[in-house]
Structure 1
Amino acid sequence: MNKYLLFLLVACQGYTVLAQDNKTPYMTKSLSGSSVKSVFVRTSGGSIAVSGGGENPRIEVYISGNNGNGNISSDEIKKRLADYVLEVTADNGEVHAVAKPKTKGFFNWNSSLNISFKVFVPKQVTTDLGTSGGSIHLDNLTGKQTFQTSGGSLHMDRLTGVIHGRTSGGSIHVSNSGQDIDLATSGGSINAANCIGHIRLETSGGSLQLEGLQGNIDATTSGGSIRGNSINGELITSTSGGSINLTQLSCALEASTSAGSFHAQFNSVGKYVKIDVSSGHIDLDLPSKQGVDLDLRGNKVEPNFTGNFEGTKEKEKVQGKLNGGGPLVQVRGNGRVNLTVN
């Protein structure tokens, strides 16, 4: 059994302890010789980063002050650590890193610490991460990743597997990842790029930026705009407080906004299109050679196409088959609806 006790309240013999400059780790422990399969990290005041697939598996501990002076001496850190539990162990393939005050509810801003962890492990690993005061970064991992923060942002790149992340006070950035993505924030924007699979994104207070997504995508915001480009598969998206602008679509689409305008440009229409806009104009651009069934309704509907159309065109409604018919394109709006086919 390989078991490493990195730290218990004070630095143990054999570990390098340095004064902090926010760039140099306070302590580093090598994990070479350990077959790491899972990582568990909890800290009450710092950030967490887990990176996979690199050389020299290790854990780095960063400690700084919270009282406006991040750079403090190792002696001052040792003194303040008397009020903390700080321990890291590696046992039977499981890495545990925990930093928390000894006393529940303890907080003294002048003597508190910001304790962060950077973990470097093999690519195939699962994580369970939590912090109440910092950001979380994950990179180049395969497996199940579960993580949450109450006061920071989430950053993910090159993850494969089940990805479940939550933040109450920060933005979310995910790229080059896939299979099963479930991410939510209560107070920030979401940026997702080059991802594939089942993708669920939710924010209560920010915008959505979607780029190069493929699969079944469900992206919602209660307080921001939505922008998307190069989406394939199926996209369900909505906002209560902003506009929607989508380009280079090759997907089925269900989209709605309660307080903004709407624009969508399709390279090809998927199984269906359903658009609902309560208080803005709608611009819809469809490919010229594809057959679709049209059901468009608004305060004023302005069709702009010269293809083979069978149906009715009225001021507030266009209904019928374009180019022989196909997937249903349904639009409901209280403003102007502009349809362009080219």
Structure 2
Amino acid sequence: MRKPLLFTLTFALITLVCQAQKTDYSFKETYPVSNAPKVSLYTSDGDVKVHASSNNQVQIFYTARRHNRTLKISKAELEKEFDFIVTHSQNNLEVKIKEKRRMKNYGNSINIHLEVYVPTQTACRLRSSDGNIMIKGLTNRQSLRTSDGDIKIMQVKGDITARTSDGNITFENVAGSIDLITSDGSIHGNLTELKNSIKARTSDGNIRIALPKQQGLDLDIRGESLSIPLQNFSGKATKKRIHGKMNGGGKLIQMRTSDGRIKLDM
């Protein structure tokens, strides 16, 4: 019993220290929630970073930046330029940030970035029109989308859907099923456990995914160049397409790239 308790206390201490040391932000808000809430966040032009926390609350650090410099500005002042739409209950939190009017002088515009701490079992829906998205340490279903930015997923247990129109998608130590699409970028990462399926597609980039060994797989893979360790395989395999079963078949592996290489590590 001592080891789990020590791990929990250590995790909580690290989270509190990280939050306490964060100083480069404009203002923050805290919302009490259950231990497994649904959280939806939208910012029109900024990054979104979400970390797991041991507390039953959502803490949002809002960082307003102009010319890559953090502005010491209040929410009341920002509300002259932006609408902050917040819907909050014990099991749900939705935060939307939208410009009231598009600034004519783009070089002098303000970007609002979010760094957020949520309970570990939170299910997130994250959206940015023009920014990067990062999520770490959660154990639930996650939905991530940016129109122009990279997506990074770390140490997540649960099914993940991620979309970017122009950016890379990377993931580390994920356990679950993944559905990843980028229109212009690469997809790289590893799964510690595959639940049901992998779907990965890019129009212009490479795909490289590492899986646990010795699994029954249904392979549906297309690319300009393929590097797949086919063992106990039945089906059709060419230089640019593989369709068939490995180790008797089972979980779906569907990967596509219109212009790039695909590598599967096991």
TM above 0.5: yes
Q: 1:187 aligns with which of 184, 198, 221?
A: 184
Sequence identity of aligned pairs in percent?
25
Matched to 2:64, the amino acid is: I
Higher relative contact order (CA 8 A, sep 6+): 2
| Partner Cα distance (2:215, 2:206) in 1 | 20
Please tell me whether Structure 1 or Structure 2 has the larger radius of gyration of its CA atoms: 1
Matched to 2:181, the amino acid is: A
Stretches of structure 1 that go unaligned for 5 or more consecutive residues are: 1-21, 215-229, 263-268, 273-342
Q: Is 1:138 the counterpart of 2:135 in the alignment? A: yes
Match of 1:209 in 2: 208
1:1-80 matches, within 5 Å, as 24-31=24-31, 33-35=32-34, 37-55=37-55, 57-65=58-66, 69-71=67-69, 73-74=71-72
Contact 1:150 1:167 in 2 (8 A): yes
- Structure 1 residues 59 and 250: CA distance shift in structure 2, 3 A: farther
Q: 1:170 aligns with which of 144, 162, 167?
A: 167
Q: Report how far residue 159 of structure 1 moved.
A: 1.8
Matched to 1:270, the amino acid is: N
Matched to 1:184, the amino acid is: I
In proportion to residue count, which structure has more helix?
2
Match of 1:101 in 2: 99
Matched to 1:28, the amino acid is: K
Q: What SS does the corresponding residue of 1:110 show, helix, strand or coil?
A: helix
Match of 1:270 in 2: 247
TM-score, length of structure 2 as denominator length: 0.71
| Count, aligned residues | 219
Q: Report how far residue 231 of structure 1 moved.
A: 7.0
Stretches of structure 2 that go unaligned for 5 or more consecutive residues are: 1-21, 250-266
| Partner Cα distance (1:156, 1:86) in 2 | 26
| Partner Cα distance (2:136, 2:70) in 1 | 29
- Structure 1 residues 155 and 251: CA distance shift in structure 2, 3 A: farther
In proportion to residue count, which structure has more strand?
1
Give the RMSD, CA atoms, in angstroms.
3.0
1:225-236 matches, within 5 Å, as 232-234=215-217, 235-236=219-220
Contact 2:226 2:240 in 1 (8 A): no
Question: CA offsets, 1:217-244, max 9 Å, x none?
Answer: xxxxxxxxxxxxx5743233210x3x22
